[in-house]
Amino acid sequence: MSYVSRILQPGETLRYDGTIHWSVYLPAIFALLVGLAGVAVIAATGGFDSPNLIGLILAGYGVLVTPVMFLSAWLKRMSTEIAVTDRRVIFKRGLLGRVTAEMNMAKVESVDVVQSVMGRLFGYGNVIVRGTGSSFEPILKIADPIAFRNSVTAA
């Protein structure tokens, strides 16, 4: 059961349910490509019978670092919840240590969306929810930030 579904009040309805964008996996994909490049260098210089040092370093990097990076990105994505209800905005991140932030809709002043060119092409961006007296820390790489903003401002 998700954090958001556990804390919904009686009669409160969910308008938007989201998470961060899949692009958090890009560093791990890059590490995998580096490892594959190392294997290609080894294969091009005579195979594993006479391995190339650079190829071994790159392949080792790919084998050791890629799984850690994929796991880290997966945990980050799966442990982040972003929701908008008819009464409040909810943000939760963390698996064992948890950081949560909630803001009543009546207190929301603005929702800022910052998207790079890549973010516009692939549908992600950074969002800052500003309220009276406080604001959320930036929510980085949220998937479909315009839909999130529209869910908040439609209230």
Structural domains in the chain (count): 2
Q: Which domain holds residue 133?
A: 88-153
**Residue at which a domain ends, from 48, 75, 102:** 75
Question: Rounded to 10 degrees, what is the CA torsion of 30, 31, 37, 38?
Answer: 170
Q: Supply the pLDDT for residue 1.
A: 65
Same domain for 102 and 146? yes
User: Does 17 reside within a domain?
Assistant: no
Do 69 and 96 reside in the same domain of the chain? no
Degrees, nearest 5: CA angle 22-23-24: 90
- The pLDDT tens digits of the residues spanning 71-114 come to 999 999 999 999 999 999 999 998 888 888 888 888 888 899 99
Mean pLDDT of the chain: 88
* This model's pTM is above 0.85: no
The answer on 62 and 97 residing in a single domain is: no
